[in-house]
Amino acid sequence: KDQHILHFQNLFFLAAYVVIAVHLAWGGGFDLNFMQLILLVGVFYLVGFIKVALYTAFLNSEKALFSLKEVWLLSALSLYPVFIILPLGAFLGEFLSLFSEALGMTFFYGSLLGAFIYVNILRVRYMKQIFHKRGSFVWLISLSEIVLFFITSLVLFMLGMTFVIKTIENLLKGIY
Protein backbone atom coordinates (compact mmCIF):
# COMPACT_ATOMS: atom_id res chain seq x y z
CA LYS A 1 0.00 0.00 0.00
CA ASP A 2 2.81 2.44 0.83
CA GLN A 3 4.47 1.68 -2.50
CA HIS A 4 1.30 2.68 -4.36
CA ILE A 5 1.19 5.99 -2.50
CA LEU A 6 4.87 6.60 -3.26
CA HIS A 7 4.36 5.85 -6.97
CA PHE A 8 1.36 8.17 -7.07
CA GLN A 9 3.39 10.95 -5.42
CA ASN A 10 6.19 10.51 -7.95
CA LEU A 11 3.72 10.67 -10.86
CA PHE A 12 2.16 13.72 -9.25
CA PHE A 13 5.58 15.40 -9.01
CA LEU A 14 6.36 14.51 -12.62
CA ALA A 15 3.07 15.96 -13.87
CA ALA A 16 3.46 19.12 -11.78
CA TYR A 17 7.03 19.70 -12.94
CA VAL A 18 6.08 19.16 -16.59
CA VAL A 19 3.25 21.69 -16.22
CA ILE A 20 5.64 24.20 -14.62
CA ALA A 21 8.27 23.70 -17.35
CA VAL A 22 5.73 24.10 -20.16
CA HIS A 23 4.35 27.28 -18.62
CA LEU A 24 7.85 28.68 -18.11
CA ALA A 25 8.52 28.08 -21.80
CA TRP A 26 5.23 29.68 -22.71
CA GLY A 27 6.00 32.71 -20.52
CA GLY A 28 9.42 33.07 -22.10
CA GLY A 29 8.05 32.77 -25.61
CA PHE A 30 10.22 29.96 -26.93
CA ASP A 31 9.65 26.40 -28.06
CA LEU A 32 10.58 23.71 -25.57
CA ASN A 33 12.00 20.54 -27.09
CA PHE A 34 11.94 17.15 -25.38
CA MET A 35 15.54 17.29 -24.10
CA GLN A 36 15.01 20.72 -22.55
CA LEU A 37 11.84 19.41 -20.91
CA ILE A 38 13.77 16.47 -19.43
CA LEU A 39 16.49 18.86 -18.22
CA LEU A 40 14.00 21.21 -16.57
CA VAL A 41 12.11 18.40 -14.87
CA GLY A 42 15.44 17.00 -13.64
CA VAL A 43 16.40 20.39 -12.18
CA PHE A 44 13.01 20.65 -10.46
CA TYR A 45 13.41 17.13 -9.02
CA LEU A 46 16.92 17.95 -7.78
CA VAL A 47 15.76 21.12 -6.07
CA GLY A 48 12.78 19.21 -4.63
CA PHE A 49 15.03 16.50 -3.18
CA ILE A 50 17.28 19.14 -1.61
CA LYS A 51 14.24 20.91 -0.16
CA VAL A 52 12.83 17.70 1.34
CA ALA A 53 16.23 16.79 2.81
CA LEU A 54 16.54 20.24 4.40
CA TYR A 55 13.01 20.08 5.82
CA THR A 56 13.66 16.62 7.25
CA ALA A 57 16.95 17.69 8.81
CA PHE A 58 15.32 20.79 10.29
CA LEU A 59 12.31 18.96 11.71
CA ASN A 60 14.43 16.13 13.15
CA SER A 61 17.20 18.34 14.54
CA GLU A 62 16.50 17.47 18.18
CA LYS A 63 14.48 14.28 18.04
CA ALA A 64 13.54 11.99 15.15
CA LEU A 65 9.81 12.59 14.75
CA PHE A 66 9.28 12.70 11.00
CA SER A 67 10.17 10.25 8.29
CA LEU A 68 11.34 11.27 4.85
CA LYS A 69 8.05 9.92 3.43
CA GLU A 70 6.01 12.31 5.57
CA VAL A 71 8.01 15.32 4.46
CA TRP A 72 7.81 14.08 0.86
CA LEU A 73 4.01 14.02 1.29
CA LEU A 74 4.07 17.63 2.51
CA SER A 75 6.09 18.60 -0.53
CA ALA A 76 3.58 16.88 -2.82
CA LEU A 77 0.70 18.68 -1.13
CA SER A 78 2.43 22.00 -1.69
CA LEU A 79 2.44 21.43 -5.47
CA TYR A 80 -1.27 20.68 -5.78
CA PRO A 81 -2.36 24.26 -6.75
CA VAL A 82 0.05 24.16 -9.72
CA PHE A 83 -2.71 22.46 -11.69
CA ILE A 84 -5.18 25.23 -10.80
CA ILE A 85 -3.17 28.47 -10.73
CA LEU A 86 -0.84 27.93 -13.70
CA PRO A 87 -3.59 27.36 -16.27
CA LEU A 88 -5.30 30.49 -14.90
CA GLY A 89 -1.91 32.23 -15.01
CA ALA A 90 -1.82 31.68 -18.76
CA PHE A 91 -4.89 33.91 -19.13
CA LEU A 92 -3.72 36.36 -16.49
CA GLY A 93 -0.29 36.54 -18.11
CA GLU A 94 -1.72 37.73 -21.41
CA PHE A 95 -4.13 40.12 -19.80
CA LEU A 96 -2.08 41.60 -16.95
CA SER A 97 1.51 40.48 -17.67
CA LEU A 98 1.61 38.59 -14.37
CA PHE A 99 3.15 35.30 -15.46
CA SER A 100 6.04 35.32 -13.00
CA GLU A 101 3.84 36.52 -10.18
CA ALA A 102 1.37 33.71 -10.91
CA LEU A 103 4.18 31.16 -10.74
CA GLY A 104 5.46 32.65 -7.49
CA MET A 105 1.96 32.64 -6.03
CA THR A 106 1.61 29.00 -7.03
CA PHE A 107 4.57 28.00 -4.88
CA PHE A 108 3.56 30.36 -2.09
CA TYR A 109 -0.10 29.41 -1.72
CA GLY A 110 0.62 25.78 -2.51
CA SER A 111 3.07 25.60 0.35
CA LEU A 112 0.61 27.37 2.64
CA LEU A 113 -2.07 24.82 1.77
CA GLY A 114 0.30 21.89 2.18
CA ALA A 115 1.65 23.13 5.49
CA PHE A 116 -1.86 23.92 6.76
CA ILE A 117 -3.11 20.42 5.91
CA TYR A 118 0.00 18.85 7.39
CA VAL A 119 -0.11 20.86 10.61
CA ASN A 120 -3.85 20.73 11.22
CA ILE A 121 -4.69 17.22 10.04
CA LEU A 122 -1.65 14.96 10.03
CA ARG A 123 0.71 16.01 12.84
CA VAL A 124 -0.94 18.50 15.18
CA ARG A 125 0.55 17.24 18.44
CA TYR A 126 4.10 16.93 17.08
CA MET A 127 3.97 20.42 15.63
CA LYS A 128 2.85 21.83 18.96
CA GLN A 129 5.86 20.20 20.59
CA ILE A 130 8.32 21.56 18.03
CA PHE A 131 6.79 24.98 17.34
CA HIS A 132 5.02 26.94 20.02
CA LYS A 133 3.04 28.79 17.37
CA ARG A 134 1.69 26.82 14.45
CA GLY A 135 1.95 29.81 12.16
CA SER A 136 5.75 29.87 12.38
CA PHE A 137 5.98 26.52 10.59
CA VAL A 138 3.54 27.61 7.88
CA TRP A 139 5.48 30.81 7.20
CA LEU A 140 8.79 28.98 7.26
CA ILE A 141 7.56 26.60 4.56
CA SER A 142 6.06 29.46 2.55
CA LEU A 143 9.20 31.57 2.62
CA SER A 144 11.31 28.58 1.65
CA GLU A 145 9.02 27.99 -1.35
CA ILE A 146 9.59 31.57 -2.50
CA VAL A 147 13.34 31.10 -2.07
CA LEU A 148 13.03 27.84 -4.02
CA PHE A 149 11.31 29.73 -6.86
CA PHE A 150 14.15 32.26 -7.09
CA ILE A 151 16.87 29.59 -6.80
CA THR A 152 15.22 27.60 -9.58
CA SER A 153 15.09 30.72 -11.76
CA LEU A 154 18.77 31.38 -11.03
CA VAL A 155 19.76 27.81 -11.91
CA LEU A 156 17.83 28.01 -15.17
CA PHE A 157 19.48 31.34 -15.95
CA MET A 158 22.92 29.86 -15.34
CA LEU A 159 22.06 26.99 -17.68
CA GLY A 160 21.57 29.57 -20.40
CA MET A 161 17.84 29.17 -20.89
CA THR A 162 16.62 32.11 -22.94
CA PHE A 163 13.10 32.15 -21.54
CA VAL A 164 14.32 33.40 -18.14
CA ILE A 165 15.97 36.38 -19.82
CA LYS A 166 12.84 37.08 -21.89
CA THR A 167 10.62 36.85 -18.82
CA ILE A 168 12.77 39.37 -16.96
CA GLU A 169 12.77 41.66 -20.01
CA ASN A 170 8.97 41.45 -20.19
CA LEU A 171 8.71 42.28 -16.50
CA LEU A 172 11.02 45.27 -16.91
CA LYS A 173 9.00 46.50 -19.89
CA GLY A 174 5.89 46.27 -17.75
CA ILE A 175 7.52 48.25 -14.92
CA TYR A 176 8.94 51.08 -17.03
User: Quick one: residue 29, left, alpha or beta (phi over 0 = left, psi -120 to 50 = alpha)?
Assistant: left
pLDDT of res. 134 = 47
CA distance 175 to 155: 24
CA distance 171 to 176: 9
From the list 39, 11, 5, 46, the residue with the least C-alpha distance to 25 is 39
> Each residue's pLDDT tens digit in the chain (176 positions)?
567 777 777 787 888 788 777 777 776 666 778 888 888 888 888 877 877 777 777 667 666 766 777 777 777 766 666 665 566 555 555 544 445 555 555 555 555 555 555 555 555 555 555 555 444 555 555 555 556 556 655 555 555 555 556 666 666 666 54
CA distance 119 to 129: 12
Q: Which domain holds residue 134?
A: 2-175
Number of domains in the chain: 1
